Amino acid sequence: MCYRMLFSVFVMLGFSGFSTAQTVVIIVNSENPISSVSSEDLRNIFTADKSVWEEGNSIQLVDWKIDSSIRERFYSTILRKTPAIVRRGWVQKIVVGNIHPPSVLSSEEEIVQYVATHRWAIAYVEKKRMPTSVKIIALDGQMPDDPSYLLK
Amino acid sequence: MLTHPLHSIRTKFTFFSLLIIVPILFFFIIYYPGQLSEIFEQELLNRYQEQAKAASFGLAVGMATENYNLIGEGIAQVKKNKELVYIIILDTMDDVIALDNRKQHMPDLGSLKNLGPIQVESSMVRLRQPMIYESKQLGLLLLGFSTNEMDSQLGEIRRLSYMTGSFCIVIIALLIWIVTSKLTGPLVKIAGAAASFSKDEEYEIIEVKTNDEIGVLSHSFNTMVEKLKNRNMALLENKRFSEDLLATIPSALLTVDDSFRIISVNNSFCQLFQMLPDAVEGHALQQVLENRSFPSDIIQSILCGKEFYNVEIRIPEKETLK
C-alpha cells in the first residue's frame, strides 16, 4: 500500500515536471520601444547577423551558460543550430570584426537583472513574474499566452 | 711665422682628435645598428609569440566556457599589430573555425598546420600556437605577420643611427675646433707677438685672461718683452751716450771689431780723413786705409796694433763732408 502510494507520487511528480515545462519568453528593457520581434530577427540577433536595433542602437545580447536546457531548447527551436555551431559562428564574427559578443550568464536572476539595467539588452527566460523594468515582447506577433506561441 | 694654416696647433689637434673619435663613432654607427636590429627583431618575435600565446589561451578558455569577451580581448591584442596578415583558427579536425585575412595573402593551410611554433620567412613571420584548455587541445591558432613593417622599422633605426652619427661627428668636430681655439688662442697671440718682435722689434703685450699654463706662459712672455724693452732702451741710451762722447772728442777715433771691420767713427775721424761715416762703417779697416793711400807699413802697424807717433800723412781729398 505504502509502495503504491509512493509510486503514484513519483508518477505525478514526473508528469507534472514534464507537463509544466515553462514557456520561454523574450524580454527586453522596458525602455526599449520594440514590442515584437520576428523569429528570423531573433535568429539573426543570436547568430550575430544583426547587431543593431532599428533605431540604430547596438543590441546587448545576453545568453545562457553552456549546457543549460533552456538554451538548447531555444537554439533548436529558433536558431535551428547546435550551440557548438553557433559558438563557432560567434568566434568567426569576433575574429573578423569588432562585434559586441553576448554576455553569458548562469542564472535567470542575473539575466533579468542584466536586461533590467541595460536599455538595449535582449534575452530569453522562462516565463515568471517579471520586474517592471523588464518587458516581455511578442514573438512573430504572438504573446506567450497565445496557443500557437513558438516557444511554449 | 706659420708657413701654412694647416700647420697650426689648432688644426693638428682637431685632426688628431677626429682621427680618434671618428673611428669610434663609425664603430658605433655601423656595429650598433646591427646589434640593435637583432635585439629589435628578437623583441618583436618574442612579442608576437607572447601575443599568440595570450590569444590562444583566451580563445581556448573563451571557447570552452563561452566567454566571448576573453576571445575578443585576445584577438584584439593580436589585431593591434599593423603587420598582422592573417588569423586562422582551426579545430581539432583541422577545419577552419574562423579566418581573417587582412591582406588577401591566403596561405596554404596544409603547409601551415605542419609548421613549427614560429617560422621567419623573407616576407612573413608565421606562428602556430595550440589552443589548450585543461590539458586538452581545442584547436590551433595560426598567425601571420608581415616583415615589411619590421624591415622598414629596422631601416628607420639604421637611418636614424647614420643621421645621429653624422650629426655627432659634425658637432664634435665643431666642439673640438672651439675648445682648441680657446686653448691655443693665447699661444697664437704669443706666436704673433714673438713674430712681430723678431721682425719689427715691436713690443706687444699679450692680454692674459687664464691662470693655466698658457696663462703663465703669456705672463712670462710679457715680462720677458718688458725686460727686453727696458734693456734695449738702456742699450740705446748707452749707444747714444757713446756716440755723443765720441763726437765731442777732438781726436779721430774709430772702433773696430775682432776682424778689424769698422764699427763706428767719430766726427773728428770723418773730418780728418774726409770721409762720410756710411762710407767706412762696416768696411774692413785695411781696405779703407788702402783706399785712402795710407802707406802699407803704417797699415800693417795699425793692424798689428803698434803705436806710432808724429807720422804725417797727406790724404787726397775724395769726399766732402756734409
pLDDT tens-digit series, residues A52-67: 998 888 999 999 988 8
Helix axes of B9-65 and A83-96: crossing angle, nearest 10 degrees: 160
- The count of other CB atoms within 10 Å of the CB of residue B23 is 10
Predicted pLDDT at B235: 92
B95 and B228 assigned to the same domain: no
- Across A4-8, B101-105, B212-216, B285-289, least confident range: A4-8
Q: Mean pLDDT across the stretch A34-50?
A: 91
**Top-confidence residue, B296 or B104:** B296
Residues B254 and B224 in one domain: no
User: What is the pLDDT confidence band of residue A98, given thresholds at 50, 70 and 90?
Assistant: low
B169 assigned to some structural domain: no
Which pLDDT belongs to residue A112?
93
Cell of B25: 663613432
For residues B76 and B71, give the distance between their C-alpha atoms in angstroms, rounded to a whole number.
8
B172 lies in a domain?
no
Hey, which of A35-44, B2-11, B19-28, B302-311 has the most confident mean pLDDT?
A35-44
pLDDT, one tens digit per residue, over B158-212 is: 788 778 878 888 888 888 888 888 777 777 888 888 888 777 777 778 777 777 7
B313-320: average pLDDT: 56
Same domain for B83 and B26: yes
Residues of chain B positioned with their CB less than 8 A from the CB of A87 = 63, 66
Give the pLDDT mean for A20-36: 88
Which residue among B63, B75, B100 sits closest to A87, beta carbon to beta carbon? B63
Q: Give the count of domains, chain B.
A: 3
Same domain, B107 and B225: no
Report yes or no on B187 lying in a domain.
no
A66 chain-B contacts, CB cut-off 8 A: 65-66
- Reported as a single tens digit per residue, the pLDDT across B79-94 is 888 888 888 888 888 8
In a domain, B262, yes or no: yes
What is the per-residue pLDDT for A138? 92
Whether B71 and A92 lie within 8 Å, measured CB to CB: no
Question: Which is more confidently placed, B271 or B2?
Answer: B271
Report yes or no: A66 at the B interface, CB cutoff 8 Å: yes
CB B240 within 8 A of CB B220: no
A contacts of B69 (beta carbons < 8 Å)? 101, 103
Count of domains observed in chain A: 1
Q: What is the pLDDT of residue B117?
A: 84
**Nearest chain B Cα distance for residue A120, angstroms:** 18
Predicted local distance difference test score (pLDDT) of residue A137: 93
B260 and B236 in a common domain: no
Do B237 and B268 lie in a common domain? Answer: no
Instruction: Indicate whether A48 belongs to any domain.
Output: yes
Which domain does A64 fall in, by range?
21-139
Is residue A32 assigned to a domain? yes
* Closest CB to B68 among A65, A94, A96: A94
**B75–A87 CB contact, under 8 Å:** no
- What pLDDT, on the 0 to 100 scale, is given for residue A116? 93
Q: Contact A95/B98, CB-based, under 8 Å?
A: yes
A128 Cβ under 8 Å from any chain B Cβ: no
pLDDT score, position B314: 63
Is residue A9 pLDDT above 60, yes or no? no
Report the C-alpha gap between B306 and B299 in whole angstroms: 10
pLDDT category of residue B274 using cuts at 50, 70 and 90: confident
Top mean pLDDT of A7-21, A32-46, B5-19, B258-272 is at A32-46
Return the CATH number at B86: 3.30.450.220
Alpha carbon distance B60, B221 (integer Å): 88
Strands of B134-167 (E only): list them. 136-146
ipTM of the complex as predicted: 0.72
Q: Are residues B138 and B224 both part of a single domain?
A: no
- Look at residue A113 in the predicted model and tell me its pLDDT: 92
- In B, which residues are within 8 Å of A103 by CB distance? 69
Range of the domain at B260: 249-304
Residue A84, min C-alpha distance to chain B (Å): 9
**Do residues B25 and B126 both lie within one domain?**
yes
Mean pLDDT of chain B: 81
User: What value does the mean pLDDT take over residues B222-233?
Assistant: 88
User: Chain A partners of B71 at a C-beta cutoff of 8 Å?
Assistant: 91, 94-95, 101
In a domain, A7, yes or no: no
Distance from the Cα of A50 to chain B's closest Cα (Å) equals 17
B-chain residues within 8 Å CB-CB of A94?
Answer: 68, 71-72, 75, 98
Nearest CB among B65, B71, B91 relative to A94 is that of B71
At residue B234, the pLDDT reads: 93
**Pair (B10, B154) in one structural domain:** yes
The predicted structure's pLDDT at residue B308 = 66
Percent of chain B topping pLDDT 70: 90
In the predicted structure, residue A19 carries a pLDDT above the cut 50: no
* Cα gap B255→B257, rounded to integer Å: 7
8 Å CB contact of A96 and B97 = no
Instruction: Check whether residue B39 and residue B90 sit in a common domain.
Output: yes
Q: Is residue B164 part of a domain?
A: no
User: Residue A16: pLDDT above 50?
Assistant: no
Which has the closest alpha carbon to B206: B179, B229, B225?
B225
Kindly write down the DSSP assignment for every residue of B69-85, as one continuous string: HHHHHHHHHHHT-TTEE
Q: Is the pLDDT of residue A17 over 50?
A: no
Give the SS3 label for residue B142.
Answer: strand
What's the grid cell of residue B174? Answer: 665643431
- Domain membership of residue B318 (yes or no) is no
pLDDT number for residue B316:
57
Q: What percent of chain B has pLDDT over 90?
A: 4
Q: Nearest CB to A91: which of B65, B69, B89? A: B89
Which residue of A lies nearest to B59 if distances are taken between CA atoms? Answer: A91
User: Cβ contacts of residue A47 below 8 Å, gap of 6+?
Assistant: A79, A81, A86, A89, A90
pLDDT in tens, A105-122: 888 899 999 999 999 999
- Domain end residue (candidates: B242, B264, B294): B242
- Top pLDDT among A5 and A102 is at A102
A-chain CB neighbours of B59 within 8 Å are: 91
Residue of A nearest to B95 (CA): A88
Residue B103 has what pLDDT?
67
The pLDDT score that the predictor gives to residue A8 is 47
Which CATH number do you get for residue A86? 3.40.190.10
pLDDT in tens, A73-83: 899 899 988 88
In a mutational test of the B interface, the residue from A95, A100, A106 whose CB has the highest number of chain B CBs within 10 Å is: A95
Residue B190, in any domain of the structure? no
B214 CB neighbour count, 10 Å cutoff: 19
Residues in B closer than 8 angstroms to A92, CB to CB, are: 97-99
Question: pLDDT-derived band of residue A10, with 50, 70 and 90 as boundaries?
Answer: very low
Beta-bridge partner residues of B129: B141
Nearest CB to B71 within list A66, A91, A103: A91
* Residue in B closest to A91 by C-alpha: B98
Alpha carbon distance B127, B113 (integer Å): 10
Residue A64: in which H helix or E strand, if any? strand A60-64
B99 and A66 within 8 Å at the Cβ level: the answer is no
Query: CB distance from A69 to chain B under 8 Å?
Result: no
Residue of chain A minimizing CA distance to B77: A95
> What is the torsional sign of CA A34, A40, A46, A51?
negative
Q: Are residues B299 and B220 in the same domain?
A: no
Structure confidence at residue B3 as a pLDDT band (50, 70, 90): low
Any A CB within 8 A of B66 CB = yes
Write down the pLDDT at residue A13. Answer: 40
Q: What is the Cα–Cα distance from B127 to B110, expressed in whole angstroms?
A: 14
Looking at the fold, whether B138 and B281 belong to one and the same domain comes out as no
Q: Is residue B115 part of a domain?
A: yes
**pLDDT for position B164:** 82
The least confident of B126-130, B202-206, B248-252 is B202-206
Q: Do B71 and A65 touch (CB under 8 A)?
A: no
**Between these two residues, A86 and B30, which has the higher pLDDT value?**
A86
Question: Does residue A127 lie within any of the structural domains?
Answer: yes
